[in-house]
Structure 1
Amino acid sequence: MIIELGHFCLILAAVVAAVQAVVPMVGAQRRLPGWMALAGPAATAQFALVAVSFGALTYGFVTSDFSLRLVVLNSHTLKPMLYKVSGVWGNHEGSLLLWVLILSGFGASAAWFGGQLSASLRARVLSVQAAVGVAFYAFILLTSNPFLRLELPPLDGQDLNPLLQDPGLAFHPPFLYLGYVGLSMAFSFAVAALLEGRVDAAWARWVRPWTLAAWLFLTIGIALGSWWAYYELGWGGFWFWDPVENASLMPWLLAAALLHSAIVVEKRETLKAWTILLAILAFGFSLIGTFIVRSGVLTSVHAFANDPERGVFILIILALFMGGALTLFALRAGAMEGKGVFAVESRETALVANNILLAVSAFVVFIGTIWPLIAEMLWDSKLSVGPPFFNVAFTPFIVGLALILPLGAMLPWKRARLGRVAWSVWPLMLLALAVFGLVLVIQTGRSVLAPMGFALGVWVIGGAAVDLARRTGRGDLGARFGRLLRLPGADWGKAVSHAGLGVTVLGVAVLLAWQTEDIRAVEVGAPYNVSGYTVTLKGVEPRIEGPNYLATRAVVEVAKEGRVIAVLRPEKRVYPVARMPTTEAAILNGVFRDLYVVIGDAQAQGGYALQVYVKPFANWIWAGCIIMALGGMLSLMDRRFRVAAGARKARAQVAAQ
C-alpha cells in the first residue's frame, strides 16, 4: 500500500508540475495576478508529493520489500542499515527520484523565500523550474520507474554495488545532486530574466545565493568523491580524470565563474549577457553530466546505468532546454546591455580574466572527456584521453587563476592603479619567491611542480590574509582586530574560500611531485625499506567474515628509526551476493604525509603482493576543499542576512506609510 501511494504521489507531482509550468507563465505574460499566484502553492504541493514518494521508496529499502524490483537489484537483508538507505539513490531510478525531490525542493524554497521578487519574475522562475521538473518526471515514469513490482518476489536481493557500500560514497551523490540541481535555479532565473527583458542588480542579488549554495554543495560532493576514490579504490590517487569525475568538475568551474560574474552585475550592472550565458551553460553542463553517468557512452566506475535509450531521452531534455534557452538568449541578448564602464586596470577586468580562465578550463575538460566518443563516431578509432593530457592542458589555467587571484581581489572597482596594489603585497611576492627558491634547493632532481605549488599556495593564502588586513584600515592592533571581527560574512567568505583554493593547490602539487610508490612481492616477516620507513608483513588472516562480505586481511607493521609507529590492516574483500571484490586500503594519516598500504594477491612463488605509497601533503587537498566550503557557508549566511534585512526594511517602510 505504501509503495502504491509513493507511485501515485509521483504521478500527481508530475501533474502539479505541468500545471505550475503553464498557468503562472501564461499569467505573467497576460498580467493575471491570480494565475501568477498559483506558482507558490503549486511548488509547495509538488515538493510535498515528491517527498512522500521518496519516503515510500526509502521505506521499501529499509524494510527489504523484495516485491519491489529496485530493492531486489540493489539491496540485501544482510546489508547494514546505512547502505540500505543509501541504496535508495545508489542506482539509476532512485537517484533520479532524489534528483526531482531536490529540484522540487529548490523550487519550493524559491516560493517560500522569494516574496520580495516581482510577481511576474517569481511566476516565471517557478514556471521554468517546474518545466524542468516535467521533463524529468516524464523520464522517470516512462523509462525509469522506481516503483515497478515483481510478480514473484525472491527471498533475498542481489545487493548494492560493493563499491558504493562506503560512508563517503553514501553521502557523495546527495551533495552532488544538490549542486547539480541547485544550478537549475540559476538557469530558471536566467530564462525568466530573458522573458522579462531585464537584468539588473536586484536580479543578481537573487541569483548569487542560489548559485553559491549550488557551488558549495558541489564542492562538498566533489571532495567526498575524491576522498572515496583515494581510500576505497586502492589505486592510491585522489583524481583520475574519469568521465564522471569530470562531469562534476565542469559545472563546478562554471558555477565559480558565474558567482564572480554575478558580483559584477550586482556592483556595476555590466557583463549582463555573459552572466546570463554562464547561468545557462552551468546547468547545461549539469545535464551533460547526467547524460555521461547514465548513457553508457563513456566507461566509468561511477556510472549508474549503461542504457543508450535512456541516454537519448536525456539528450532530448538537454536539447530542449539548452536549445530553447540559447535561442532565447540570442534573441534577447541585445537588450542586456551593461551600464557600467571600467578601465583596464580595475576589479572588473580581473573578474573578466577570472571568468575566462574558469570557463575555458571547463571547456578543455569537456573536450578531453568527449574526445574518445567523437573519435569513435567520426573515424571509428578507439582513443583514450587520460591524466597526461588533462594535467598538461588544465594546469596552466589554474596557475593563471592563482596568480591573479590576490591582486584581483584587492583592486578597486571601475578604475585602479595596479602598481599601488602590487606595492602593498610586495613583501608577500618576495616571500612566495623565497619559498619557491628554498623548496627548489631542498629537493634534488625532482619536478619543479612542488616549488611552484608551495609558492602559489603561499601567494594565494597570504593574499587572502592581506586582503582581510587591508579592510581593517589603519590604527592600533586592538582597533583593527575589532574591525576585522565586524567585517561582513561575504568578505570573510571570499578570503576563506580563496585561502582554501591555495591550500588545495599546494597539496595537489606537492603530492604529485613528491609521492613515492613501492610494489613488490613480500614474504611474511621480511622487512624492507620504503622512503625511510621499515615495512614488515607480519601475517595474513585469510578468512575474515564481515556483515555481508569475506575478507583477506594483512597485518603490516611500520617502523621508523627502529620504533614501531603503526600497525596497518589492509583488506581484500569479496561480496558473495554481488560476486565482486573490493580493495580496502589501510592509511596512516598525518598532517604532512600519508602512508598508504594495499594488500594484493597471493603469489605463486610465495608471499603476497604489497603496495606501499608515501603521499606527502595528501590531506591538504581535502582540507582545502573543507576550507573552501566553509568560505561558501560564511558568504551564504551573510547573503541570507542581507536579503532578510532588506525584506524587513521594505516591510517597515510599508507599515510606516
Structure 2
Amino acid sequence: MLPEIGQVVLAIACMFSLLQVVYPLYGIYAHQQSAIESAKILTVLQFVFVALSFIILAYLFLVNDFTVAYIATNSNSAMPWYYRLSAVWGAHEGSLLLWVLLLSMWSMAVALMSKRLPVESVARVLAVLGLLSLGFYLFVLLTSNPFDRTLPYFPVDGRDLNPLLQDIGLIFHPPMLYMGYVGFSVAFAFAIAALMEGRLDSAWAKWSRPWTIAAWTFLTLGIALGSWWAYYELGWGGWWFWDPVENASFMPWLAGTALIHSLAVSEKRGVFKSWTVLLAISAFSLSLLGTFLVRSGVLVSVHAFASDPTRGLFILTYLILVIGGSLLLYAVQASKVKSRGRYSIISRETMLLSNNILLIAALIVVLLGTLLPLVHKEMGLGSISIGEPFFNRIFTVLIVPFALFLGVGSLVRWQRQNLTDLFKPMVILLVVSTLLTLVFLGTLASHFTWLAVLGIFLAMWILTGTCVEIYLRSTHRFSLWTGMRKLGNSHWAMTLGHAGFAIMLIGITMTQNFSIERDVKLSVGESVRFEHYDFHFDAVNDLQGKNYGGIVGKFTVKYDQKTVAVMEPEKRIYNVQRTAMTEAAIDSGFTRDLYIAMGEVLPDGAWSVRVYYKSFIRWIWFGPMMMALAGVLVIFDRRYRVKKVPESAAEVI
C-alpha cells in the first residue's frame, strides 16, 4: 500500500507544479493579485508532497520491501542501514526523485526568502522553476517510476547495491553534486523571468548572485567529494581521470565560475548584462546536459546509471525544449538589455572579462573532448578516445594566462588603471613570487622539472597578488589591522577563493610531478623501499564484514628505520554480486600520502601490490574547501540582507 501512496503523492506534487506554472502567470496577465500571490503557496505544497514521496521511498528501503522493483534491484537485507538509505539515490530512479526533491527545495527557499522582491517578479521566477519541475516529474512518473512493483512475484532478497557505491563518500557526494546542479536553476529562473519582463539592471544581479554562489559552493564541494572518493575507493590512486561523467559536472562548474564573476561586475558596474544572462542560461543548460549524459545510457562509466533509450529520448527532448526555448527568448529580448558602464582596456572589468573568456574556452575544450567521441561513434566512424593527455596539455596552456590575470586582476582598479601606478606592485609581485617558488621547490621537491616550476610560480603569483591587494586596500586610509577589520565579507571571500585556487594548483603540480608509483610483486615477509620509506609486508589475514568477505594485508611502514604507520589494505568479495573490490590503505599527511592497494594473488603465492607516494595530494582538496568557504562568506554578506523594499519591478528585474 505504501508504494501506491508514494506514487499518488508524487503525482499530486506534479499537479501542484503545473498549477505553479499556470495560475501565477495567468494572475499576472489578468491582474489578479490573489493568483499572483498563490505562487508561493503552491511552491510550498509541491515541496511537501514530493518530500513525503521521498520519505516513503526511504522508509521502504529501510524495511526491505522487495516488492518494489527499484529496491529489489538496488538493495539487500544484509547491507548496513545507512547504505540502504543511500541506495535511495544510488541508481537511476531514486536519483531522479532526489533531483526533483532538491529542485522543489530550492524553489521553496526562493518563495520563502524573497519577501523583499516585487510579488510579480517572484511569481515569474517560481513559474519558471515550476515548469522545470514539471518536466522532471513527468520524466519520473512516465519512464523512471521508483515505486513500480515486482508483484505478483517478488524476490526474497535484493540484488544488492553496486559495491562501488557502498561507501561513505557516495552517501554525501550525489546530494551535494545535485544541490549544485539544481541550484543553478534559480539563476536560470531569475534570468528567464527578467527576459520575460523585458527589464534587467544591476539589481537583478544583486538578487540572483547569492543564489548562484550557493549553487556553485555546493557543486564545488560535490566535485571535490567525487575526486576524493575516486582517489581512495577505485584503487588506482588517481584523483581525476577526465571521465565523461566527471566532465559532465566540471562543465557547469566552469560556466558557474564565469557567472559568479560576471554577476559581480554587473552588480557593481552595470556592464556585461547580456553576457551574464547568457552564462546563467548556459550554467543550468550544462547541468541538464550532464543529466542527459549520465541518465541516457550513452556513456559507459562507473558513475552512469541508466541504459534505457526511451529515457534518453525523453531527456534529450526536454533538453532541447528548455535550452532552445531559453535561447530563443534571449535572442528576442537581449537587444533590450543595455549596459550603462564604460571601462578602458586597462581595468578590472577587462581582467574579469579576459578570465571569463578563458573559462569558456576551457569549457568548450571539455565539451568537445567529451562529446566528440560520442558523435564520432554515432556517425559510424568508429571509436576514438580523448583522454587525460589531451586535456592536461590544453589546460596547461590555458592555466598560464588565467593565473596571471587572476594574480594581478585584484590590483587593477575599476573603470580605468594608470599603468605607472601598477608598476611598483607588479615588480614586488614578480620578485616575491620567484623567490617563493625557488624556496618552495628547493626545500620540498625531490628533483627539477620545468612544469613544476611553472605551476608553483603561478600559484605563488596568485597568493602574493592576493596578499599585496589586501595590504594596499587595508592601508589606503587606515593602519593595516584597522583596514583589514573594515574589509567586508565579499572582499575576504575573494581573497579566500583565489588563495584556495592557488592551494589546489600547488597540490596538482606537486602530485603530477613528484608522486612515485610502484606496482610490485611481494610475498609475506618481503619489503619494497623508495623515498626513504620501507614498506614491509607482514601478513595476510581473513576478513569478514556484514555483507562481504575477503582478505586484509598488513604492512609496516618505516621512515629511516622508524615506524611511521601500520597499513591494512583490503580485498573484498561482496556476498550477493560476488564482486571483488579493492579498499586501499592510506596514511595521510600534510605534504604526502602513502597509499597501498592489494592486487591479485599470483600462482607462486606472492601478491601484486600497488605502493604509491603521493606528494601534496591533500592540497588538491584543501583548495576547493577554501573556495567553498569563500562562497559561504559571500552568501552571508550583509549587502544581501537589505531592508528596503523595491518600489517597482524595474528596480529588481
Alignment of 1:247-262 (within 5 A): 247-262=248-263
Q: Which residue of structure 2 lines up, in the alignment, with residue 642 of structure 1? A: 639
1:97 partnered with 2:97: yes
Q: Give structure 1 stretches of 5+ with no counterpart.
A: 651-657
Distance 1:128 1:395 in 2: 39
Counterpart amino acid of residue 293 in structure 1: V
CA 628–87 in structure 1, closer or farther in 2 if over 3 Å, else same = same
**1:178-221 C-alpha deviation (Å, 9 max, x unpaired):** 00000011111111111111111110011101110010000100
Q: Which residue of structure 1 lines up, in the alignment, with residue 314 of structure 2? A: 313
Distance 2:351 2:31 in 1: 41
Displacement of 1:427 after TM fit? 2.2
Alignment of 1:204-603 (within 5 A): 204-437=205-438, 446-474=448-476, 479-541=479-541, 543-603=542-602
Q: Is the 1:439–1:450 contact (alpha carbons within 8 Å) kept by the matching residues of 2? A: no
Displacement of 1:264 after TM fit? 1.3
Q: Is the 1:490–1:635 contact (alpha carbons within 8 Å) kept by the matching residues of 2? A: yes
Distance 1:565 1:194 in 2: 61
CA 29–275 in structure 1, closer or farther in 2 if over 3 Å, else same = farther
Displacement of 1:439 after TM fit? 6.0
Displacement of 1:304 after TM fit? 1.6
The DSSP-based 3-state class of the residue aligned with 2:88 is coil
Counterpart amino acid of residue 21 in structure 1: V
**1:302-346 C-alpha deviation (Å, 9 max, x unpaired):** 112122221111111110000000011111111112111111111
Counterpart amino acid of residue 618 in structure 1: I
Q: CA RMSD in A?
A: 1.8
Distance 2:131 2:619 in 1: 42
Distance 1:378 1:164 in 2: 34
Which piece of structure 1 moves more, 625-634 or 28-37?
A: 28-37
Q: Which residue of structure 2 lines up, in the alignment, with residue 137 of structure 1? A: 137
Displacement of 1:467 after TM fit? 2.2
Distance 1:448 1:242 in 2: 27
Displacement of 1:440 after TM fit? 6.6
Q: Give structure 2 stretches of 5+ with no counterpart.
A: 648-653
The DSSP-based 3-state class of the residue aligned with 2:89 is coil
Q: Is the 2:13–2:50 contact (alpha carbons within 8 Å) kept by the matching residues of 1? A: yes
Q: Is the 2:118–2:646 contact (alpha carbons within 8 Å) kept by the matching residues of 1? A: no
Distance 1:399 1:253 in 2: 16
Displacement of 1:27 after TM fit? 2.4
Identity %: 44
Which piece of structure 1 moves more, 414-423 or 322-331?
A: 414-423
Q: Is the 2:459–2:506 contact (alpha carbons within 8 Å) kept by the matching residues of 1? A: yes
**1:535-565 C-alpha deviation (Å, 9 max, x unpaired):** 1111111x31101111211111111111121
Q: Which residue of structure 2 lines up, in the alignment, with residue 84 of structure 1? A: 84
TM-score, scaled relative to structure 2: 0.96
**1:270-329 C-alpha deviation (Å, 9 max, x unpaired):** 111111100011001000110111112121111121222211111111100000000111
Distance 1:423 1:38 in 2: 59
The DSSP-based 3-state class of the residue aligned with 2:379 is helix
Q: Which residue of structure 2 lines up, in the alignment, with residue 147 of structure 1? A: 147
Q: Which residue of structure 1 lines up, in the alignment, with residue 650 of structure 2? A: none
Displacement of 1:438 after TM fit? 5.1
Distance 1:30 1:421 in 2: 57
**1:144-191 C-alpha deviation (Å, 9 max, x unpaired):** 001112212322111111101111111000000000000011111111
Displacement of 1:453 after TM fit? 2.0
**1:422-448 C-alpha deviation (Å, 9 max, x unpaired):** 522532321212244456777676532
Q: Is the 2:117–2:645 contact (alpha carbons within 8 Å) kept by the matching residues of 1? A: no
CA 288–424 in structure 1, closer or farther in 2 if over 3 Å, else same = same
Q: Which residue of structure 2 lines up, in the alignment, with residue 630 of structure 1? A: 629
Name the structure, 1 or 2, with higher relative contact order (CA <8 Å, separation 6+): 2
Distance 2:15 2:263 in 1: 34
Counterpart amino acid of residue 646 in structure 1: K
The DSSP-based 3-state class of the residue aligned with 1:362 is helix
Q: Which residue of structure 1 lines up, in the alignment, with residue 200 of structure 2? A: 199
Counterpart amino acid of residue 525 in structure 2: G
The DSSP-based 3-state class of the residue aligned with 1:38 is helix
The DSSP-based 3-state class of the residue aligned with 1:108 is helix
Counterpart amino acid of residue 624 in structure 2: C
Q: Is the 2:231–2:238 contact (alpha carbons within 8 Å) kept by the matching residues of 1? A: yes
**1:334-363 C-alpha deviation (Å, 9 max, x unpaired):** 111211111111111111111101111111
Distance 1:625 1:264 in 2: 23
Q: Is the 1:403–1:456 contact (alpha carbons within 8 Å) kept by the matching residues of 2? A: yes
Which piece of structure 1 moves more, 115-124 or 103-112?
A: 115-124
